[in-house]
Chain A
Amino acid sequence: MKRSVKIILAAMLILALTIVPTGCGGSQGDDVSTFRLGSSTSFDTMNPLSSYMQVTYEFFLLVYDPLVRYDEDYDTVPCLAKDWSLSEDELVWTFNLEEDVLWHDGEPFTSKDVKYTYELMMDTGLGYMYSSYLDGITDIDTPDDYTVVITTETPKANMLMNTTPILPMHIIEGIAEKDLEIWENEEPIGTGPFMYDSKGDNFVKIVRNEDYFGDLPEIEAFVFVDYENIDAMAQALMLGELDGATNLNPAQLDQLQKDSNVDVISGTELGFMQIGINCWTDPQSKGNPLLRDKTIRQAMDYAINKQKIVDMAYSGQGIKGTTLINPGDFYHYEPQGAEMRDYDPEKGKALLEAAGYIDRNGDGVRETVDGKPLEFEFITIADNVEEVKSGQLIVSDLAEIGIKVKNITMDSGALYDRIIEGSYDMFIWGWGSDIDPTVILGIIITDQIGGNNEPFFSNARYDKLYIEQQAAMDENERQQMVFEMQRIVYDESPYIILVYSNNIQAIRSDRWTGYNQIPDEGLFFFNMTSLNYMNIKPL
């Protein structure tokens, strides 16, 4: 026994000696022009028809081309469509396509691909991240290989915001329609500035498309790396294993700010975090009926110290919330004067007093005339640290004005069930948004009850404006409609929008240059544009 122990120990020692000197932290330097980006979201599938992840959206943006793209101010610029025109009646769009564009497998790109992609998505509902942009299209015609004529039912205000990737007809045609959902697209073929190269257990690599019809990317290769553990991701960035990182947390922001090799930003991300309140008046509703009174909802809005939530739950990385569209956006409406409900618990109390909600039995909780207490159940998602912290702050804020909320936590799947059944009072969750306001405005239209309309909100004027703004070709006219929609929601308060939270991202500035926050206060990555991927280059 003793001898065998010695042998084993010797073997272990040898093993240790062989590994330690050769191993070292840091990038392997396989080539200087490869950028590795860490993210906490991973690829679900490489199929643009059925994927719905943040990171795959970026991937499709680079491997495929849309007809048009966004520039750094979110204005439309040509991509596969070199120019376009709109008919007098604003119903017929003619797109002239780039000629000499090749798919990555060498096949020529034509107008048939555009028609095929759009019709496929419209007919099947596939392309979950894109197909809603095709709403209202009635006909697509291809008079020749480089012209696409799109006819719409009514004028389509978001036609030039449609960045749906154009897919290769010659490949997808060969797949049975019923298999498209689970088509794995193992070798994605696009026309984009980058080509798919390889994937591994935790990464996907793309390389520069040397035959790209437009300006070539500055870098040779880009690797998306997924991290389960964002602390490890931050460490990997500081060690140089990664060149960039996204979805970092505020603690890491402080740490990275001290690292002179790293350029770290906390940029605005489209979307918000909100309290949803059950407004459903149907007999099936299992929400507390008191919450159908908007006075109570507004009083809660007054009572919640949103700045404190930003500071304490989000470590200052966000902006306190008001309306559905992010501040800084052309379509954002900021409530004015008396309409604005800044933090003021006294006003909240006064509203409740005036409506007859008074603490009649001295237990600190207000009651209605017939003795029903203002007591609600309040759900937060257990594994979302920021939301749980916000929930705790809100409980004490509301207690201040005599509203008792019982905070319970569950996982997102369980909460979703409760929401769909309408068996909840209040919850905290968030929404990601988009550049076209239609997307976020659409979540609480009456048609979405049973779907995205979580508060079961229904307002005829809102629904009408929702339809009309989609056909408002004049930007200013559309803005006025969208403003009014936000005012309606702010007044009715089915959602109390708490925070527009930031995304914290970083790049190794000792190695890379040529990148920017997009738009000005925005992000390096996940900003709906391909600009940083195209422009970033080694120092």
Chain B
Amino acid sequence: MHKGELLKKLIYACITILIVLVFNFLLFRVLPGDPLAMMMRNPRATTEMLEGLKQFYGLDQPWYVQFFTYFKHMFQGNLGVSFLYKAPVSKIVVARILPTLLLVGVAELLAIFVGIIIGIVAAWKRGTKLDVGTLSFSLITYSVPTFWLGMIMLVVFCVGFKIFPTSGMFTPGMTFQTTGAMLHDLMRHSILPIVTMALVLIGEYALTMRNTLIDVLSEDYITTARAKGFKERYVLLKHALPNALLPMITIIAINIGFVVAGAIQIETIFSWPGLGRLMYEALSARDYPLLQGIFLLVTVSVVLANFLADITYSYIDPRIKN
């Protein structure tokens, strides 16, 4: 890719982010619901208290003033103060990034890896019992409601087999003597949510991989390769797979971008302290600054992931490069 083109793409990415941010700002304010409602629907509250709070959070200003203040502060690196937690948004969001990256990131990697392998095997052994079996597995995990699956996993592994704890990232209130003990505690808490999350994701990857590979396998050049007498495995790995992986990159890039958005349902079932849950809490409380902060982070990572996918494309697909 030329330098000029790269720059152009970068500029487009920035414009996209900007547009999304403006849109988010307006979207949240179009939503019915006064952010102070949930804060102050309190029998001990007085009307003066309400006014004071409105003033403090700048909610007494017209929306366009709030809009410019928000952008001005954002460019100064200040994302504002959460109505709900009464603390800087950046601080709250940063604390939630790591748990989310751990949960969704590991689950994504696991799902991508397993999903691709299942897809390849299914396509290769098309029509056999193995194909039918893996296809059914993928379809079931793809379509099963996340919340339901989570509850089942919880009942089976926490209540039934008593292998894992039910919630959180660590045992609450525990003081760890060693880092090893802490990691062990973390591992016990994280396996179930990660596996559940991965199960939900595997289906999509497996099905897409299988379909594209089947398409590619019916192309003329595959027949040619086979006619040349190459071994079946060689044809699959060297001729078919590289072409079949292209659509996968798009899906992976999009999904990776959304990793930071967390997984609301999984995080809720397992009381996991991630960004997905935070987003839900912020939305219920109409916590505009916090919502905007989270959306900023999600927007940037989705756009960035797509940008990187574009670049990756041009390296692995020579047609785009030229």
Chain A residues close to B by CB (< 8 Å): 1, 5, 8, 19-20, 22-26, 28, 30, 34, 36, 44-45, 47, 50-52, 124-125, 128-133, 181-182, 184, 198, 200-203, 205, 221, 223, 225-229, 231-233, 235-236, 238-239, 241, 410-414, 416-418, 420, 431-434, 439-440, 442-443, 447-448, 450-452
Contacts and interface: CB of A to CB of B under 8 A. Distances in A.
Contact of A235 (B41, B166, B188, B286): B166
Given A28-B171, A125-B48, A239 B42 contact: no
B51 to A, nearest CB: 9
B34 A50 contact: no
Contacts of B166: 232-233, 235-236, 239, 241
Interface string B32-56: 1111011111111111111011001
Interface string B95-128: 1000100000000000001000100000000000
B239 to A, nearest CB: 14
Given A20-B163, A439-B43, A200 B172 contact: yes
B48 A1 contact: no
11 contacts: A30-B174, A52-B40, A129-B44, A225-B172, A229-B167, A232-B271, A235-B154, A413-B32, A448-B47, A451-B50, A452-B41
Interface in B62-117: 81, 84-88, 95, 99, 113, 117
B167 A236 contact: yes
A47 B85 CA distance: 10
Contacts of A26: 162
B273 A202 contact: yes
A45 B59 CA distance: 20
A1 B175 CA distance: 44
Contacts of A448: 47
Specify which of B33, B39, B117, B233 lies most central, judged by the most chain A CB atoms within 10 Å of its CB.
B33
Given A44-B84, A412-B33, A452-B42, 13 more contacts: A8-B113, A26-B162, A45-B87, A181-B53, A201-B95, A201-B273, A232-B271, A236-B167, A412-B38, A413-B35, A413-B37, A414-B33, A439-B44
Contacts of A414: 31-33
Interface stretch (B215-223, B251-259, B262-270): B262-270
A128 B32 contact: no
A164 to B, nearest CB: 11
Contacts, number: 193
B52 to A, nearest CB: 5
B151 interface: yes
Given A45-B85, A200-B170, A411 B42 contact: no
Given A5-B117, A44-B86, A412-B37, A130 B271 contact: no
Contacts of B37: 412-413, 416-417, 420
Instruction: List the 5 closest A-B pairs by CB distance, nearest first.
Output: A413-B33, A201-B273, A25-B162, A416-B37, A203-B172
B20 interface: no
A217 B47 CA distance: 39
B271 A228 contact: yes
A404 to B, nearest CB: 25
B109 to A, nearest CB: 12
Given A130-B44, A232-B167, A236-B167, A413 B173 contact: no
Specify which of B56, B168, B170 lies most central, judged by the most chain A CB atoms within 10 Å of its CB.
B168
A201 B162 contact: no
Interface residues of B, number: 67
A442 B159 contact: no
Contacts of A412: 33, 37-38, 284
Contacts of A8: 113
Interface in B216-263: 233, 237
B169 interface: yes
Contacts of A434: 43-44
Contact of A203 (B99, B159, B173): B173
B96 to A, nearest CB: 8
A200 B169 CA distance: 9
Contact of A228 (B46, B174, B277): B277
Contacts of B46: 125, 132, 451
B41 A229 contact: no
Contacts of A200: 169-170, 172-173
B311 interface: no
A9 to B, nearest CB: 10
Given A25-B162, A198-B173, A228-B268, A432 B43 contact: yes
Interface in B173-231: 173-175, 184-185, 187-188, 191
Specify which of B38, B44, B158 lies most central, judged by the most chain A CB atoms within 10 Å of its CB.
B44
B293 interface: no
B295 interface: no
A185 to B, nearest CB: 10
Given A50-B86, A448-B47, A450-B47, A227 B167 contact: yes
Contacts of B142: none
Nearest to A22: B184
A26 B188 CA distance: 12
Nearest to A28: B171
Nearest to B36: A416
Nearest to B176: A30
B307 interface: no
Contacts of B41: 416, 452
A407 B154 CA distance: 36
B260 to A, nearest CB: 17
B277 to A, nearest CB: 6
A144 to B, nearest CB: 32
A50 B237 CA distance: 62
Contact of A239 (B38, B52, B162, B170): B162
B164 A181 contact: no
B47 A232 contact: no
B34 A413 contact: yes
Nearest to A42: B281
